[in-house]
Amino acid sequence: MDEPFIEEITKEPLTIDHLLKVIAETNPKADLEFIRLAYEFAEHAHEGQKRKTGEAYIIHPLAAAIILAHMQMDQSIIITALLHDVPEDTSVTLEDIEKNFGKDIAEVVAGITKLGKLKYRGVERYIENLRKMFVAVANDVRVMIVKFADRLHNLTTLEALPPKKQYRIALESLEIYAPIANRLGMGDMKGRLEDAAFRYVYPKEYRWVVSLVKERYAAYEEYLGFAKETVEKELRSANVPFIEIQSRMKRLYSVYQKLLKHDRDIEKLHDLIALRIVVPTVADCYATLGTIHKLWRPLKGRIKDYIAQPKPNGYQSLHTTVFGENGRIVEFQIRTQQMHEEAEYGIAAHWHYDERGSAIPTKRLAWIQELAELQKNLIHKIKDLDALKIDVFQNRIFVFTPKGDVIDLPEAATPVDFAYAIHSDIGNTATGARVNEQVMSLSHELKSGDVIEILVDKRRKGPSADWLKFVKTHHAKECIRQHAKKGIASWIMERFRSTDVG
């Protein structure tokens, strides 16, 4: 499961030539001499410093820069990665960086420096650090992109740290960093962070999944080659253009999560291995889907159109799972080149060297703006880290109003969470719900794609305190609690007025 550039950054010793070679291949327009200058600046600043591994400190920012170069980031982000630890760990100042590399790079480095190092040292302090992270992301997403590369390299060198510290850093990566990468649409980074952390947080489970997957991949490898050749031939025959067809292996931690949902039975996982087809246009996506269904019968309920209905993080693709020869089950993912870039790199795709200055779609900006609002209005009230994880870091589902508006909620959310997400008055007066035109209880667990209509009674005096037993979002819980407090206060005032004091 190790991948080429992960192997590359763990080689001994890394040099600036490694970085420049990757950049020359991925970004021919880059100013290699300017990047070399940034490296020499950082190398001089970190001179004499060592990492816990015993290697020169400069290896760490260099490795982070190589990760970003493989992601085809523009040179300003790569230079920022080279310089990101300079103000915090050396006598060189942000003013020095601005003088030598410009205001834009200095501001991103400043954002990373302000972010500091997140550590589990008491819930309140940790939540305050998370607040800083949200502010940093809201101000400039590039700060988080560099932090992801920084964290990914740190995960590859955890062996040099004591076991307790290994566990803390890996757990933090699983519970905080990877979910943020997911919310920003950076599927590739999310998967890399999770797999690198998995072995340290759940070592026994990691070894178990590796053994299961290794055996399964070996059994499927030959058949995938056959399926790929068959699809290529059929697409050419039907004159449906395609850019590439590649096999995709589900990441280890993702396999583990799916196994937990399916009684640890790997036979129930139909997307362990998939063929990904990249085509020129959206029309070609649907034509390819039709061609595949002409070849093989699709599994009922396994056709998912994320092009017409994208995931909350912007992910778009067509998914279908089919019965192949001899009962072999294979998943296909079909997308355009742009969709593929967005699925792999999410918001980071807008800093690819050839996308400089391109506008970030409104949907991508919406969640970042929510982060800014969250840190202003909500996070200072949260004292429970688990509550924060549910609202911000848990897997998300997307559901619809009857008019087709998309509402983004945490996994396992209920109609009450949906109602409060629309408006507190709708939540307060909710009496029931129709989910996909079927009457359901207010405690019903929603799933992605559900269409929900909330039934209200304007005469209702307020929410039930029992709803606190099943609602998931912090916003819904706060609204219910606030209404309960108002009710108690009104009852006390009414009792006070009715008391005969004469």
The terminus-to-terminus CA distance of the chain in angstroms comes to 82
Calculate helix-pair angle for 103-115, 141-156, nearest 10 degrees.
60
Which of 43, 55, 89, 411 is the catalytic position?
Answer: 89
Within 8 A by CB and 6+ apart from 37, the residues are 100
**Rounded-to-integer distance, Cα 149 and Cα 189, Å:** 8
Phi, psi (rounded to 5 degrees) for 296: -135, 150
**Burial class of residue 94, CB neighbours in 10 A (0-12, 13-18, 19+):** middle
Alpha-carbon distances, residue 75 vs 19, 188, 431 (angstroms): 11, 20, 55
Phi, psi (rounded to 5 degrees) for 451: -105, 125
Q: What three-state secondary structure class fits 15?
A: coil
Residue 293: CA atoms inside 13 Å, Cβ hemisphere, count? Answer: 15
Cβ(195)–Cβ(252) below 8 Å = yes
**Rounded-to-integer distance, Cα 184 and Cα 150, Å:** 17
| β-pair partners for 304 | 319
Within 8 A by CB and 6+ apart from 150, the residues are 60, 64, 81, 84, 112
Which of 3, 88, 95, 386 is the catalytic position?
Answer: 88
89 catalytic? Reply is: yes
Residue 455 structure tokens: 């039934």
417 catalytic? Reply is: no
Q: What three-state secondary structure class fits 332?
A: strand
451 secondary structure, DSSP code: B
The arrangement of strands across the sheet holding 452-456 comes to 438-440, 430-435, 452-456
**Rounded-to-integer distance, Cα 90 and Cα 109, Å:** 13
Helices (H) and strands (E) in the chain, counts: 22, 11
Cα pseudo-dihedral 304, 361, 177, 356, rounded to 10:
120
Residues annotated as catalytic (active site), given as ranges: 88-89
